[in-house]
Amino acid sequence: MHQRIPRLCLLINHCVFNLLGNLERTADDSALWLAYRNGDNEALGVLAERYYGALRRYGMKFYVDESIVEDCIQDLFLDLWQNRDRISQTPSVKFYLFKAIRHSILGHMRYQQRFTNEESLDWDTSLPENFNAESLLIERETLNSLVAQMHAHMEALPKREREALYLRYYENMSVADISGLMGVNRQSVSNFLQKGITRIRAKWFVTVVLNLFFF
């Protein structure tokens, strides 16, 4: 760390970081991105740590082996480091990283000839083995049966709609980011989301009525 300070101080940004001590861990994405682009590998490390889990989770949804996903992530960050001089500032680091990892996973699948177009792209909808209903203030049997119904509807959705739903509601992404990430226009993403939600709950009333007979 000490060795690095004189070099980093050539750049005012780094001096700011060093003077403020451990700002890095809490710094926002764009500040870290700027620091990284100016040669601060720790800033990139913080970003890597921050997004590793999300990128891994996202990558594995495409039914790609976890070791491959992990290596795509590793390569992504190594590439970022090597090409730091050529990387520009980005309005959303998260979007940038997701877009990059999607690209590299699709590249991998194309290489393995598992990918021909967006339609051939898979999306994992398997459920967690135990989602601990009590911790969500719901009776276990109730939640189990609800999840099973929703899951059946979800399975019937086109895969890209499932991906859009995931990005919107799990990753909290904007419609604009999702459209950029998936390479479809915003209106389509809105439609995906709207249709997806509608379809997941479509047969709810029928199910309720049926349940009245059973319970």
Interface residues toward other proteins, by CB under 8 A:
3-4, 7, 41-42, 44-46, 48-49, 52-53, 56-57, 60-61, 65-68, 70-75, 77-78, 81-82, 104, 107-108, 111-112, 124-129, 131, 135-138, 142-143, 146-147, 149-151, 154, 162, 165-166, 169-170, 172, 197, 200-201, 204
Please state the closest distance from residue 174 (CB atom) to other proteins, in A.
12
Q: Convert 36-58 to b/e letters by CB count within 10 Å (16 or more is b).
A: bbbbbebbbebbbebbeeebeeb
In 3D space, the residue among 73, 54, 33 whose CA is nearest the CA of residue 173 turns out to be 54
Burial (CB < 10 A; 0-12, 13-18, 19+), residue 23, is: middle
Taking residue 67's Cβ as centre, other Cβ atoms within 10 Å add up to 8
Tell me the C-alpha distance between 173 and 181, whole Å: 10
Q: What is the C-alpha to C-alpha distance for residues 86 and 142, in angstroms, rounded to an integer?
A: 54
Closest distance of CB 166 from other proteins, Å: 6
Instruction: Give the residue with the Cβ less far from other proteins, 164 or 180.
Output: 164
**Smallest Cα–Cα separation from 149: which of 84, 194, 210, 86?**
210
- Least Cβ distance, residue 45 to other proteins (angstroms): 4
Write down the least CB distance from residue 156 to other proteins, Å. 12
Q: Which is nearer to other proteins, 88 or 172 (CB)?
A: 172
Phi, psi of 115 (to 5 degrees): -125, 120
**77 vs 96 by CB, closer to other proteins:** 77
Rounded to 10 degrees, what is the CA torsion of 22, 26, 32, 36? 40
Task: Please identify, using beta-carbon distances, which residue of 74 and 185 lies nearer to other proteins.
Answer: 74
CB of 28 to other proteins, least distance (A): 18
Give 118 or 155: the residue with its C-beta nearer to other proteins: 155
Least distance in angstroms from the C-beta of 61 to other proteins: 7
Q: Are residues 59 and 67 in contact, defined by beta-carbon separation less than 8 angstroms?
A: no
Residue with Cβ nearer other proteins (102 or 108): 108
